Amino acid sequence: MSHDELITENEMLKNEIEMLTSLILKIHMDMDIEHFLDEIIFTLRRRIPFDGCNVSYIDRDGLMNVHRINPSNVSPKHRLSADQLEEVFSRKVDYKTSSDWASVAAREKKEIYIPEVHLDDFTPDDQVFLRDYGISGLYYLPLIMGDRVHGTMRFHNYDSPMKLTEFEKNLIRTRASVVAKALDDYFLYQDLKKKNDVITLDLDLATRLQRNLLPDSFPDFEGVEVAAAYIPMIEVGGDYYDFLYSPEKRERRFGLLITDASGHGVSAAFITSMLKLSFQNRQTYKNSWSPSYVLSYINRSIKNLIADNFVTGCYAYFDFYQMNLVMSSAGHNPVYRVNRDTGEVDTLKPHGKMLGLFDYQEFQEMEIPVKSGHRFLFYTDGLTEAENREGIPFEKNLVDLLAGSGELTAGNFCRRVEDHLRVHGLYGSKTTFDDDIAMVIIDVL
């Protein structure tokens, strides 16, 4: 090879690397495989003389499909009519059994190079194929990525031999390897997209399910105001709150349950659905006045249904005839009680173990008088444990808010806590909290 030829080949290789880098970036950015294959063919035609080129790729059903090439890349020298060309693009064959050369090249993972076609050298069926297309020379390469074969890249000449130098073959092989990688990425992307669609569908279903699990109305009668908020870590979560209350009876009493299931996402949401079923039933309504009974009933109901998971919870029964509160806890966070007039804050925490761990267990009942001006905050630990950029939890901020927001209604206080929590726990590029968060505020008016 002369010095000038060496310089020319080096320059071509340099341009080829730049072109391939650009094409690889394009396939990673938009995954438009058809456009990508057209670009491969269009740019390669600038470097190597050939009339026709397309890609036959194997779909997930093992069928060989012909890439529907951009009309501007179709050689005017081919002999197929528009209807015949459409038939080629629409045809699908089983590459494992088909005798067409694209399938053979893929199946046997070998190149087929016929620089000059002499029809007498071929079988009658092959002669028909070559004559119909008007093929005078061809080069077929299998598209292989690791141990996977993704199809065949096909090059045709229609009125002259296809005499390729070894350098030109290597350029084509390089392009073929890039196409194989692109198809590998494309099919992986399609598989992931399909799985993601299923996951998204599951999450949408779980999100709708969870929206139905949470109450759409609160106890509403003179002398009490109720507010609540729920912020799942992702689309769905494992925190839950609900009420035992009969609006039609217009009673001035109700039960409140708040729980936190271990884990996150769909599995925690399904545990929550089981909690809903065990909480909202005739037995708990009949015994809603007994927190220990309600928690024991829930514990027995879910014990053998939640595998290795567990649930913390707190149930409180408010009686505004007696002006008292009876509550039990199953390993849950303490309840904050605030005197809205003085700003004094204290905590209430009966003893009790988590739900779902033991068949039978007892829950301490704590009775507390309620007075006008009292505010009670029930919450899950995602609220107090949310950390800021410096790793400081939200708990102290929450206590300060409780002590200094007595003039706010329950609803406005709930919104103020949410606002401060987001400023505290969502910083930089962080858009979600590290745990699900639920809170319920009960104001005694």
In a domain, 73, yes or no: yes
In whole angstroms, give the CA distance from residue 141 to residue 152. Answer: 5
In whole angstroms, give the CA distance from residue 186 to residue 286. Answer: 59
- Domain count for the chain, please give it: 2
Residues 231 and 164 in one domain: no
Residues 176 and 239 in one domain: no
Residues 96 and 134 in one domain: yes
* DSSP assignment string, 31-87: --HHHHHHHHHHHHHTTS--SEEEEEEE-TTSEEEE----GGGS-TT----HHHHHH
In a domain, 208, yes or no: no
Looking at the DSSP bridge assignments, the partners of residue 53 are 155
Residues 331 and 401 in one domain: yes
Each residue's pLDDT, cut to its tens digit, for the chain (445 residues) gives 444 444 455 555 555 555 555 555 555 445 577 888 888 888 888 888 899 899 999 998 999 999 888 887 788 888 888 888 888 889 999 999 999 999 999 999 999 999 999 999 999 989 998 998 899 999 999 999 988 999 999 999 998 999 999 989 998 998 898 888 888 888 887 887 787 777 677 667 666 766 778 998 999 999 999 999 998 877 667 899 999 998 888 899 999 999 999 877 677 778 888 899 899 989 999 999 999 999 999 999 998 888 788 899 999 999 999 999 999 999 999 999 999 999 999 999 999 999 988 888 889 999 999 999 999 999 999 999 999 999 999 999 999 999 999 999 999 999 999 999 999 999 988 998 998 899 999 999 9
CATH of the domain at 279: 3.60.40.10
In a domain, 200, yes or no: no
* DSSP assignment string, 200-215: HHHHHHHHHHHHHHS-
Residues 7 and 110 in one domain: yes
3-state secondary structure of 7: helix
**Would you mind telling me the total number of residues written for the chain in this entry?**
445
Residues 187 and 125 in one domain: yes
Residues 163 and 236 in one domain: no
CATH of the domain at 44: 3.30.450.40
In a domain, 399, yes or no: yes
Residues 279 and 130 in one domain: no
Domain boundaries, position 310: 215-444
End-to-end Cα, the chain, rounded Å = 97
